[in-house]
A and B are shown apart, each in its own frame.
Chain A
Amino acid sequence: GENVEQHPSTLSVQEGDSAVIKCTYSDSASNYFPWYKQELGKRPQLIIDIRSNVGEKKDQRIAVTLNKTAKHFSLHITETQPEDSAVYFCAASIGNFNKFYFGSGTKLNVKP
Protein backbone atom coordinates (compact mmCIF):
# COMPACT_ATOMS: atom_id res chain seq x y z
CA GLY A 1 0.00 0.00 0.00
CA GLU A 2 0.88 3.67 -0.02
CA ASN A 3 3.49 5.01 2.41
CA VAL A 4 3.69 8.72 3.17
CA GLU A 5 6.69 10.15 5.00
CA GLN A 6 6.73 13.68 6.38
CA HIS A 7 9.66 15.86 7.49
CA PRO A 8 10.57 17.53 9.72
CA SER A 9 8.65 16.32 12.76
CA THR A 10 9.13 19.70 14.46
CA LEU A 11 9.90 23.09 12.98
CA SER A 12 10.54 26.32 14.80
CA VAL A 13 10.68 29.63 12.90
CA GLN A 14 10.70 33.30 13.74
CA GLU A 15 7.58 35.30 12.98
CA GLY A 16 7.78 36.62 9.43
CA ASP A 17 10.06 33.86 8.20
CA SER A 18 9.01 31.11 5.79
CA ALA A 19 8.31 27.49 6.71
CA VAL A 20 8.58 24.47 4.44
CA ILE A 21 7.26 20.99 5.19
CA LYS A 22 8.03 18.09 2.87
CA CYS A 23 6.29 14.80 2.18
CA THR A 24 7.16 11.84 0.01
CA TYR A 25 4.86 9.10 -1.19
CA SER A 26 5.51 5.67 -2.62
CA ASP A 27 2.60 4.84 -4.93
CA SER A 28 2.76 6.56 -8.30
CA ALA A 29 -1.01 6.02 -8.65
CA SER A 30 -1.69 8.62 -5.93
CA ASN A 31 -3.31 11.64 -7.51
CA TYR A 32 -4.68 13.81 -4.71
CA PHE A 33 -2.61 15.49 -1.99
CA PRO A 34 -4.33 17.51 0.77
CA TRP A 35 -2.72 19.36 3.65
CA TYR A 36 -4.42 19.69 7.03
CA LYS A 37 -3.76 21.97 10.00
CA GLN A 38 -4.63 20.70 13.46
CA GLU A 39 -4.60 22.89 16.55
CA LEU A 40 -4.29 21.26 19.94
CA GLY A 41 -7.37 19.19 20.77
CA LYS A 42 -9.18 20.27 17.63
CA ARG A 43 -10.17 18.62 14.37
CA PRO A 44 -7.83 18.69 11.33
CA GLN A 45 -8.82 21.48 8.95
CA LEU A 46 -8.09 21.36 5.23
CA ILE A 47 -5.87 24.30 4.30
CA ILE A 48 -4.87 23.51 0.73
CA ASP A 49 -4.81 20.60 -1.67
CA ILE A 50 -3.33 19.75 -5.04
CA ARG A 51 -4.20 17.23 -7.70
CA SER A 52 -1.71 15.48 -9.91
CA ASN A 53 -2.53 17.47 -13.03
CA VAL A 54 -0.86 20.60 -11.62
CA GLY A 55 2.57 21.29 -10.21
CA GLU A 56 1.83 24.18 -7.90
CA LYS A 57 -1.09 25.83 -6.17
CA LYS A 58 -1.15 28.99 -4.09
CA ASP A 59 -3.64 30.50 -1.67
CA GLN A 60 -2.47 33.77 -0.12
CA ARG A 61 0.47 32.90 2.19
CA ILE A 62 0.19 29.16 1.59
CA ALA A 63 1.44 27.22 -1.41
CA VAL A 64 1.87 23.57 -2.28
CA THR A 65 4.20 22.12 -4.88
CA LEU A 66 4.10 18.65 -6.38
CA ASN A 67 6.86 16.73 -8.14
CA LYS A 68 5.30 13.59 -9.58
CA THR A 69 8.56 12.26 -10.96
CA ALA A 70 10.26 12.37 -7.57
CA LYS A 71 7.03 11.54 -5.74
CA HIS A 72 7.21 14.38 -3.29
CA PHE A 73 5.13 17.41 -2.41
CA SER A 74 5.74 20.33 -0.11
CA LEU A 75 3.84 22.93 1.88
CA HIS A 76 5.21 26.46 1.90
CA ILE A 77 4.02 29.09 4.38
CA THR A 78 5.37 32.61 3.89
CA GLU A 79 5.33 35.51 6.35
CA THR A 80 4.53 33.18 9.22
CA GLN A 81 2.42 34.41 12.12
CA PRO A 82 2.02 33.03 15.66
CA GLU A 83 -1.45 31.75 14.74
CA ASP A 84 0.19 29.46 12.17
CA SER A 85 1.53 27.43 15.10
CA ALA A 86 -0.10 23.99 14.90
CA VAL A 87 0.50 20.46 13.68
CA TYR A 88 0.39 20.05 9.92
CA PHE A 89 -0.40 16.76 8.18
CA CYS A 90 0.06 15.81 4.58
CA ALA A 91 -1.88 13.00 2.93
CA ALA A 92 -2.01 11.11 -0.33
CA SER A 93 -4.94 9.41 -1.97
CA ILE A 94 -5.34 7.10 -4.90
CA GLY A 95 -8.78 8.56 -5.41
CA ASN A 96 -10.95 5.72 -6.51
CA PHE A 97 -10.27 3.77 -3.35
CA ASN A 98 -11.18 6.70 -1.13
CA LYS A 99 -8.41 5.93 1.32
CA PHE A 100 -6.16 8.69 2.61
CA TYR A 101 -2.66 7.89 3.79
CA PHE A 102 -1.43 10.47 6.27
CA GLY A 103 2.05 11.58 7.14
CA SER A 104 3.11 11.57 10.78
CA GLY A 105 2.72 15.32 11.19
CA THR A 106 4.93 18.38 11.65
CA LYS A 107 4.63 20.53 14.73
CA LEU A 108 5.22 24.12 13.64
CA ASN A 109 6.10 26.71 16.26
CA VAL A 110 6.18 30.35 15.17
CA LYS A 111 8.00 32.48 17.70
CA PRO A 112 6.82 36.09 18.04
Chain B
Amino acid sequence: DGGITQSPKYLFRKEGQNVTLSCEQNLNHDAMYWYRQDPGQGLRLIYYSQIVNDFQKGDIAEGYSVSREKKESFPLTVTSAQKNPTAFYLCASSSRRSGRLGNTDTQYFGPGTRLTVL
Protein backbone atom coordinates (compact mmCIF):
# COMPACT_ATOMS: atom_id res chain seq x y z
CA ASP B 1 0.00 0.00 0.00
CA GLY B 2 2.80 2.43 0.77
CA GLY B 3 3.74 2.46 -2.94
CA ILE B 4 0.53 4.16 -4.01
CA THR B 5 0.13 7.84 -3.31
CA GLN B 6 -2.73 10.22 -3.92
CA SER B 7 -2.78 13.99 -3.74
CA PRO B 8 -4.16 16.14 -2.46
CA LYS B 9 -5.69 14.58 0.64
CA TYR B 10 -8.47 17.19 0.67
CA LEU B 11 -9.73 19.16 -2.32
CA PHE B 12 -12.38 21.82 -2.64
CA ARG B 13 -14.07 22.61 -5.92
CA LYS B 14 -16.18 25.54 -6.91
CA GLU B 15 -19.17 25.19 -9.17
CA GLY B 16 -18.20 24.94 -12.83
CA GLN B 17 -14.57 24.16 -12.08
CA ASN B 18 -12.54 21.20 -13.29
CA VAL B 19 -10.17 19.60 -10.80
CA THR B 20 -7.55 16.89 -11.20
CA LEU B 21 -6.74 14.23 -8.63
CA SER B 22 -3.30 12.69 -8.72
CA CYS B 23 -2.47 8.99 -8.35
CA GLU B 24 1.08 7.66 -8.52
CA GLN B 25 2.46 4.17 -7.89
CA ASN B 26 6.00 2.84 -7.77
CA LEU B 27 5.02 -0.82 -7.56
CA ASN B 28 5.50 -1.48 -11.27
CA HIS B 29 1.83 -2.43 -11.49
CA ASP B 30 0.27 -2.61 -14.93
CA ALA B 31 -3.34 -1.90 -14.01
CA MET B 32 -4.74 1.15 -12.23
CA TYR B 33 -8.26 2.05 -11.15
CA TRP B 34 -10.36 4.93 -9.88
CA TYR B 35 -13.26 4.39 -7.48
CA ARG B 36 -15.75 6.72 -5.92
CA GLN B 37 -17.06 6.10 -2.39
CA ASP B 38 -20.04 7.93 -0.98
CA PRO B 39 -20.78 7.97 2.77
CA GLY B 40 -21.94 4.60 4.04
CA GLN B 41 -21.69 3.02 0.63
CA GLY B 42 -19.45 0.70 -1.30
CA LEU B 43 -16.94 1.42 -4.02
CA ARG B 44 -18.07 2.26 -7.54
CA LEU B 45 -15.67 2.00 -10.46
CA ILE B 46 -15.13 5.18 -12.49
CA TYR B 47 -12.33 4.24 -14.90
CA TYR B 48 -9.64 1.63 -15.14
CA SER B 49 -6.52 1.11 -17.20
CA GLN B 50 -4.84 -2.20 -17.90
CA ILE B 51 -1.88 -0.77 -19.78
CA VAL B 52 -0.26 2.53 -20.67
CA ASN B 53 -2.17 4.63 -23.21
CA ASP B 54 -5.33 2.57 -22.77
CA PHE B 55 -8.27 2.89 -20.39
CA GLN B 56 -11.90 1.81 -20.13
CA LYS B 57 -14.99 3.32 -18.60
CA GLY B 58 -16.31 1.83 -15.41
CA ASP B 59 -19.85 1.98 -14.11
CA ILE B 60 -20.01 5.74 -13.39
CA ALA B 61 -17.67 7.41 -15.91
CA GLU B 62 -19.93 10.32 -16.85
CA GLY B 63 -18.42 13.66 -15.81
CA TYR B 64 -14.94 12.21 -15.34
CA SER B 65 -11.89 11.83 -17.56
CA VAL B 66 -8.53 10.09 -17.19
CA SER B 67 -5.21 9.67 -18.94
CA ARG B 68 -2.51 7.01 -18.72
CA GLU B 69 0.60 8.43 -20.36
CA LYS B 70 2.96 6.75 -17.90
CA LYS B 71 2.79 3.41 -16.16
CA GLU B 72 3.24 5.08 -12.78
CA SER B 73 0.53 7.71 -13.12
CA PHE B 74 -3.24 7.69 -13.60
CA PRO B 75 -4.73 11.15 -12.95
CA LEU B 76 -8.47 11.65 -12.70
CA THR B 77 -10.16 14.88 -13.78
CA VAL B 78 -13.54 15.71 -12.29
CA THR B 79 -15.20 17.96 -14.83
CA SER B 80 -17.96 20.50 -14.38
CA ALA B 81 -20.28 17.99 -16.03
CA GLN B 82 -20.17 15.89 -12.85
CA LYS B 83 -23.08 17.42 -10.96
CA ASN B 84 -22.55 15.75 -7.60
CA PRO B 85 -18.81 15.22 -7.18
CA THR B 86 -18.57 15.42 -3.39
CA ALA B 87 -17.16 12.02 -2.38
CA PHE B 88 -14.08 10.10 -1.29
CA TYR B 89 -11.99 9.09 -4.31
CA LEU B 90 -9.77 6.04 -4.14
CA CYS B 91 -7.10 5.00 -6.60
CA ALA B 92 -5.90 1.40 -6.77
CA SER B 93 -3.36 -0.60 -8.69
CA SER B 94 -2.72 -4.26 -9.32
CA SER B 95 -0.14 -6.53 -10.86
CA ARG B 96 -1.06 -9.17 -13.35
CA ARG B 97 -0.54 -12.60 -11.92
CA SER B 98 -0.82 -15.42 -14.39
CA GLY B 99 -1.97 -18.77 -13.19
CA ARG B 100 -3.95 -21.85 -14.13
CA LEU B 101 -7.18 -19.97 -13.44
CA GLY B 102 -6.22 -17.04 -15.61
CA ASN B 103 -5.10 -13.59 -14.59
CA THR B 104 -6.57 -12.75 -11.21
CA ASP B 105 -5.19 -9.64 -9.60
CA THR B 106 -5.07 -8.24 -6.12
CA GLN B 107 -5.82 -4.53 -5.92
CA TYR B 108 -4.04 -2.25 -3.48
CA PHE B 109 -5.46 1.15 -2.61
CA GLY B 110 -4.03 4.61 -2.18
CA PRO B 111 -4.94 6.77 0.85
CA GLY B 112 -7.74 8.59 -0.97
CA THR B 113 -8.72 12.17 -1.80
CA ARG B 114 -11.77 13.75 -0.20
CA LEU B 115 -13.40 16.13 -2.68
CA THR B 116 -15.93 18.70 -1.54
CA VAL B 117 -17.94 21.07 -3.71
CA LEU B 118 -18.31 24.54 -2.24
Q: Which residues of A approach B to under 8 Å, CB–CB?
A: 6, 31-32, 34, 36, 41-46, 49, 51-53, 89, 93, 95-96, 98-100, 102-105
Known: A34-B107, A44-B90, A45-B1. A51 touches B101 (CB 8 A): yes
A–B Cβ pairs within 8 angstroms, 30 of them: A6-B42, A31-B101, A31-B102, A31-B104, A32-B101, A34-B107, A36-B109, A42-B111, A43-B90, A43-B109, A43-B110, A44-B43, A46-B106, A46-B108, A49-B106, A51-B101, A53-B100, A89-B42, A89-B43, A93-B104, A93-B105, A95-B101, A95-B102, A98-B50, A98-B94, A99-B48, A100-B33, A102-B42, A104-B41, A104-B42
Residues of B within 8 A of A43 (CB): 1, 90, 109-112
Contact B107 A100 (CB under 8 A): yes
CB distance from A35 to the nearest CB of B (A): 11
Residues of B within 8 A of A53 (CB): 100-101
Interface residues of B in 34-92 (CB under 8 A from A): 40-45, 48, 50, 58, 90
Bound CA span A6–B50, Å: 27
Identify 10 new A-B residue pairs, CB closer than 8 A, beyond the known A31-B101, A46-B106.
Answer: A42-B111, A42-B112, A46-B107, A53-B101, A89-B42, A89-B43, A98-B48, A98-B103, A100-B33, A104-B42
Residues of A within 8 A of B33 (CB): 100
In the A-B complex, the 5 residue pairs with the smallest Cβ-Cβ separation, listed nearest first, are A32-B104, A95-B104, A43-B109, A95-B102, A104-B42
Residues of A within 8 A of B40 (CB): 105
Residue ID in chain B nearest A36 by CB atoms? B109
Residues of B within 8 A of A44 (CB): 43, 90, 109
Bound CA span A98–B33, Å: 9
Contact B43 A102 (CB under 8 A): yes
Residues of A within 8 A of B110 (CB): 43
CB distance from A7 to the nearest CB of B (A): 13
Residues of B within 8 A of A41 (CB): 112
